[in-house]
Chain A
Amino acid sequence: MRGLCFSLLAAAVALAAAPRAAAQKTLLVITADQTDYVLAAGGAVAAMMAQGATGYLIRVTNDEKDSWDLAPEETARRARMESEEAARILGFREVISLGYRAGELGGVSPTELRDRLMFYIRLHRPEVLFIPNPYAHYVEVLDRFYAGQAAEEARRAAALENFQPPFAIAGLKPHLVPELYYYAQPVDPRRREPEGPATFVPQPKVVDITPMIERKLRAAKALRTANYSLAMRIRQRLEETGRRLPLLETVNEAAVEKLVEINVRKLGEIGAQGTRFKYAEEFHYAGPEYRIPKSYRD
């Protein structure tokens, strides 16, 4: 185990010493579902790709549950098209859909999912990885937790040659991703509390997304099936309890888009709280110096 740790450390030191310019970077975003990364990290990833980074998106599930009055198959078909449209707006080169059934990741082998994600890490060899934060509390959609755990393990395993020897035989050599962003929508009340020293614990980080807010908004609006589902679900709850929301008296495209805009802008404002930014996103960040003790860095 000590040797394994040393291998990781040596690779990390090498990567920290030779950072690549943003324009040359490759970015890999892993998302459990179509909406989560757009709402939690869409601005930050759009900014990186706007600066020239090449982006790949891995959608772990097929989003088949998130619709209103549509069968799972039709929901999944629309979700794929719409998530590809959203990804194009944000600047991704490619969307990789793994096709797991939404809501069912709790029954998927964590090792299988880890290895599939590891495959793509070794294939695309990103410098930056965005993953769902499995440590964020009170995240309602547990697919995000399972995908986040598998993604975190995949990052580690991708760097170690003894994981999946056939990958290396097929030419997919070990690769350590130097920059790691954990993302989550802001439901955890303690999300900004540092949990430990920076050397070994990813630290809270706020990224200004003000220049990218309109692009993020357009991407979020492109997820029409999920957005309509959200609007109808809110209206259903209100109707069941004898209430109404003037905006959703008639649930049409304009009303749904307005709801999305309110959501995206407010999420940006929440992320910017305590900063000088207008809109921002919050992450836990492990950069090139993560897990390198200061004495080694010096």
Chain B
Amino acid sequence: MAHGLRLVAACLVGFVAPAAGPLPLLDPPPGKTFLAVLPHHDDHTHEYGFGGLIARLIDEGYRGYYVRVTNDEKDGSAGWGENDLVNERETQEAVRALGIEEVISLNWRNDHMDSIPHHDLRAQLILLLRRYRPDVVLSYDPWGHYDRNPDHRKVSRALADALALSGFANVHPEHLAAGWKLHRVPFVFYAQRFDYGKGHEPNVAVALTEKQVARKARAYWLHRNVRVHPESARALRAALDARGLRVPELEGLSDEEATIRIQEWRMYWISARHGRENGVPFAEVFYFVGEWDHLPGLKDYLRENVRPK
């Protein structure tokens, strides 16, 4: 395993920004429901976030929902319709590995998000926030820089707008007429790739157990359509053979099994790296927005003076 970790680490040097120092360790905030609002089928588990946090939230009693905004038709080599079907099915399987029970697919066209009205998507998200009343929302950082994926930008900005407005009665009053109540989400975790400039800079670390990392690793490779390509392990082994090298942990495995093992190492390696940087065995890091952070002049006062009933 250690050798494999080093191998993957070597592949990923330069992919992850250098650490700035230990971050405060954050326990999951109090609550019972979270919504992960992300553009794509596989955004819930990456090097840069969410899979471990989702597993931990579930372990601490949360119920989770995955809002998959696009239809993922471009992701994979099977053609638009087939990609849509396969990616949707694999999403169900992958998020169940983390403990999420329900996937809500909004089915906007993948990589055509810039052409849809911001307000249409925002209205859907406001309705979902009022329907599910999450205590925690997870998404891409709307203030991140250099994210070339337009779906990431579009969804995170529409979500940020929805988070700001879902608590106001004069925003989509028709929702209230149908029986939904206003809801302001108190806690938000944002993530983004670490090699995308300085826009996203994590402010908390969330410690993970090895079992949670294992679920995260499984959720990662369960997106077989885009992440399990046996030819990558075959090419790696051929390149090592040519240099007289071998990875003992991969011997006896089929190319598909070897690919899965390598993908798992990626998740273990990045989780261990964030753990090491923050004083725990495994961790993920996020930009966390707390309950009163939108009120910089009042948050200290509220923290000091709010009492139990």
Of the four ranges (under 10, 10 to 19, 20 to 34, 35 or more), the interface on chain A belongs to 35 or more
Chain A neighbourhood of B163, CB < 8 A: 140
Kindly specify which of B61-69, B166-174, B255-263 makes contact with the partner chain: B166-174
Chain B neighbourhood of A264, CB < 8 A: 297
Complex-state Cα separation, A107 to B306, whole angstroms: 38
**Cβ-neighbour of A263 out of B199, B293, B298, B309 (below 8 A):** B298
- Say yes or no: B296 contacts A140, CB within 8 Å: no
Q: A69-B169, A75-B170 are in contact. Are A140 and B203 (CB under 8 A)?
A: no
| Cβ < 8 Å to A, chain B residues 43-87 | none
Of the four ranges (under 10, 10 to 19, 20 to 34, 35 or more), the interface on chain B belongs to 35 or more
Number of A-B contacts (CB under 8 A): 100
- Say yes or no: A65 contacts B306, CB within 8 Å: no
A52: interface (CB < 8 Å): no
Q: A187-B296, A190-B201, A237-B184 are in contact. Are A140 and B164 (CB under 8 A)?
A: yes
Complex-state Cα separation, A141 to B54, whole angstroms: 27
A2: interface (CB < 8 Å): no
| Cβ < 8 Å to B, chain A residues 234-288 | 234, 236-238, 241-247, 259, 262-267, 270
Would you mind naming 21 contact pairs between A and B with Cβ atoms under 8 Å apart?
A65-B170, A67-B170, A103-B164, A106-B118, A106-B161, A107-B119, A140-B163, A140-B294, A142-B157, A187-B293, A187-B294, A237-B184, A237-B291, A242-B308, A242-B309, A245-B302, A246-B307, A263-B295, A265-B297, A266-B296, A266-B298
**Least distance between A264 CB and chain B CB atoms (Å):** 7
- Say yes or no: A137 contacts B297, CB within 8 Å: no
- Say yes or no: A243 contacts B297, CB within 8 Å: no
- Say yes or no: B307 contacts A244, CB within 8 Å: yes
A178: interface (CB < 8 Å): no
Chain A neighbourhood of B289, CB < 8 A: 138
B300: interface (CB < 8 Å): yes
- Say yes or no: A263 contacts B297, CB within 8 Å: yes
Complex-state Cα separation, A213 to B293, whole angstroms: 23
Complex-state Cα separation, A275 to B64, whole angstroms: 46
Chain A neighbourhood of B302, CB < 8 A: 234, 245
**Least distance between A231 CB and chain B CB atoms (Å):** 10
B305: interface (CB < 8 Å): yes
Chain B neighbourhood of A103, CB < 8 A: 161, 164-165, 168, 171
Residue of A nearest to B186 (CB): A237
Complex-state Cα separation, A145 to B224, whole angstroms: 39
Residue of B nearest to A238 (CB): B306
Residue of A nearest to B119 (CB): A107
Residue of A nearest to B294 (CB): A140
**Cβ-neighbour of B305 out of A70, A107, A241, A246 (below 8 A):** A246
Complex-state Cα separation, A69 to B167, whole angstroms: 12
Complex-state Cα separation, A264 to B298, whole angstroms: 9
**Least distance between A236 CB and chain B CB atoms (Å):** 8
| Cβ < 8 Å to A, chain B residues 251-307 | 287, 289, 291, 293-298, 300-302, 305-307
**Least distance between B91 CB and chain A CB atoms (Å):** 28
Chain B neighbourhood of A127, CB < 8 A: none
**Least distance between B69 CB and chain A CB atoms (Å):** 16
**Cβ-neighbour of A245 out of B170, B186, B297, B305 (below 8 A):** B305
Complex-state Cα separation, A237 to B186, whole angstroms: 9
